[in-house]
Structure 1
């Protein structure tokens, strides 16, 4: 997970709000008489509470990250989510994808106060600012190609992808001056999903789940985090998800740029424009009407400009661009 380069922290001891059992579990996992002597809450997450832990004993301190599900909905689904992430971290340790090292999981809170996953601390930080946006998009595209090229044995494949919205679940913005555009978008996803060639998906790949170090020519990705939604499905869907996030963060032009960079980096997308439009719109509508679900952690990381009004406007502009190009 994320290191201490430009990361926002909230001071919080690991024993607050009933964390004593979790502390004992972590210290048992690391062994050798080591103890947690520092714990800091990481900002920028929505589904879980993330803590950076310093474990000391003999030798140099060890830095770890603890993910814990506390919200009732995610506690209910923690067994599947955390078990999946643990499996993926073990799977990817032999690949070129930069992921945290797995240290332990208690997906049912049999020993911890909450369902938890323990992993190593990765270098780098989440970068959501306006600087070097195009360069980061280039690196995101290359990294996504690398993820989709991971070869997975049949018996180790993750679950089939799940759509995160449907025509009847889409919430349209109340104040839009272009209701016909939104209705047109909803009609796109009323059709059956297009045929696709499946591959390994991160499924929640976007700038908030990627760590960077350096600047300019030395800018590089040092970590990809949050693998709880990993799936088996169309590459277009991962590209769609990251594209929507880029459009919301930086505008429609940046959201349209990623797919081109992905193809130029050796990725493969459907050649049918209507099929590609389906996956792009399916993802975009899952953020309607105002992307508040992702905006909260993004604002915690410094993007105070991302108001509901701005995000709705950007999402609408992005949909319009998708229809211009693919519709």
Structure 2
């Protein structure tokens, strides 16, 4: 089935989706959802003759070797979050991670209202809302703990921007050469950032948190650092620097020692250096055409410099 002539759901996958529906329901419309980096996203409008319609989201990993692991994590996270009323996550409908029934590993879930807001307007209200939502996520006590977080960045893989102060970046890289600080584990989203948060008509009202494929167990500081980095790249370094404070004001607890907080903030910022183009592309597709590679690199450099000289 397609939209505007484009084949957007493959035959085996569409047949699998059909088996998950209620009696009499069919997929009546398919829409491509943009903004994802690692998976194809489709919004499916489902209806029965003479009755109303509902919407589902189909997530399929076409090229990723780790798809089975990611879909397993997402399915587990959505199952855990089904009872977490303070976290507006999609409900799991079905998952085919191996895959056994679909052409590619796929997950079917409910569709949530709202949309990501990536513009600068309304940030004063949205940043505290993001912080409150992240505190609620970290308060989840899962029955089945997800696997421990993975930090893929190493001192050897950091990409120093061309115009950067090499001395500042060398000092930053030295920070992550040290062993990771000890921490009290929390349930992590692991990719909590504005692109994965849906807002309703009121810009401070969050209606959904999506993309739980990297759900992990680890330090709250890591989720906070990741959102801070994204805010710095989207809106400027000052917004990244403000997020940890907003998180604490919302009741969140971070590492007690300043050097330990710096470790996590720097680690995530340096991780962004390896995939600046990959991170910024979905933002440009969503309308932030001002976020060129050069702009994002400049903001990243300014943010790392601010962290190291604060």
TM-score (norm 2): 0.95
Aligned to 1:40: 31
The offset of 1:201, in angstroms, is 0.6
Q: Which moved more, 1:235-244 or 1:292-301?
A: 292-301
Aligned to 1:203: 190
- Aligned CA distance change for structure 1 residues 82 and 289 (closer, same or farther; 3 Å): closer
Give the alignment of 1:162-201 within 5 angstroms: 162-173=150-161, 175-201=162-188
The answer as to 2:45 corresponding to 1:54 is yes
Q: What is the distance in 2 between the residues matched to 1:55 and 1:107?
A: 23
Contact 1:202 1:230 (C-alpha < 8 Å) held by counterparts:
yes
The answer as to 2:267 corresponding to 1:282 is yes
The offset of 1:183, in angstroms, is 1.1
Task: From 81, 85, 89, give the equivalent of 1:99.
Answer: 89
The offset of 1:78, in angstroms, is 1.4
Q: Which moved more, 1:287-296 or 1:314-323?
A: 287-296
Q: What is the distance in 2 between the residues matched to 1:172 and 1:40?
A: 39
1:174-219 deviations in Å (ceiling 9; x for gaps): x224111111111110001011111111111000000001236xx3
> CA RMSD, aligned part only?
1.6
The answer as to 2:292 corresponding to 1:295 is no
Gaps of 5+ in 2: none
The answer as to 2:303 corresponding to 1:312 is no
Task: From 66, 69, 75, give the equivalent of 1:80.
Answer: 69
TM-score (norm 1): 0.91
Gaps of 5+ in 1: 1-9
Contact 2:41 2:59 (C-alpha < 8 Å) held by counterparts:
yes
Contact 1:289 1:312 (C-alpha < 8 Å) held by counterparts:
no
Q: What is the distance in 1 between the residues matched to 2:274 and 2:40?
A: 26
Secondary structure of 1:243's aligned partner: helix
4+ residue runs over 3 A deviation: 10-14
Aligned to 1:114: 104
Give the alignment of 1:101-250 within 5 angstroms: 101-153=91-143, 156-173=144-161, 175-215=162-202, 219-250=204-235
Q: What is the distance in 2 between the residues matched to 1:185 and 1:176?
A: 16
Aligned to 1:5: none
Secondary structure of 2:180's aligned partner: coil
Contact 1:13 1:38 (C-alpha < 8 Å) held by counterparts:
no
1:1-25 deviations in Å (ceiling 9; x for gaps): xxxxxxxxx94678x2770111111
The answer as to 2:62 corresponding to 1:70 is yes
